[in-house]
Amino acid sequence: MQVLDVAAGTGLVTVEAHALVGAAGQVTALDPSPGMLAELRKKLDVQTVEAFAEDMPLPDAGMDFVSMGYALRHVADLDQAFGEYLRVLKPGGRVCIMEISRPASRLGRALLRTHIGVLVPALATLTRQRAEVGRLWAYYGDTIEAAVDPQRVLDALTRAGFTDVQCHVTFGVFREYVGRRPDSTTPTA
Each residue's pLDDT tens digit, 78-111? 999 999 999 999 999 999 999 988 777 788 777 8
pTM (2 decimals)? 0.84
8 A C-beta contact, residue 64 and residue 93: yes
Please choose, from the candidates 20, 22, 23, 26, the residue with its C-alpha nearest in 3D space to the C-alpha of residue 3: 26
Strand-pairing partners, residue 26, are 2
User: Helix, strand, or coil here: 33?
Assistant: coil
User: pLDDT exceeding 70 applies to what percent of the chain?
Assistant: 88
**C-alpha R_g of the chain:** 17
pLDDT at res. 76: 92
CB 28 within 8 A of CB 49: yes
The residues near 52 (Cβ < 8 Å, ≥ 6 apart) are 32, 76
Q: Are 70 and 97 in contact (CB under 8 A)?
A: no
Q: How far is CA 64 from the centre of its chain?
A: 16
Q: What domains can you pick out in the chain, each with its CATH number?
A: 2-101+147-180 (3.40.50.150), 106-143 (no CATH)
What is the model's pLDDT at position 135?
Answer: 67
For the chain, residues with pLDDT lower than 70 are 127-141, 185-189
Are 154 and 167 within 8 A, CB to CB?
yes
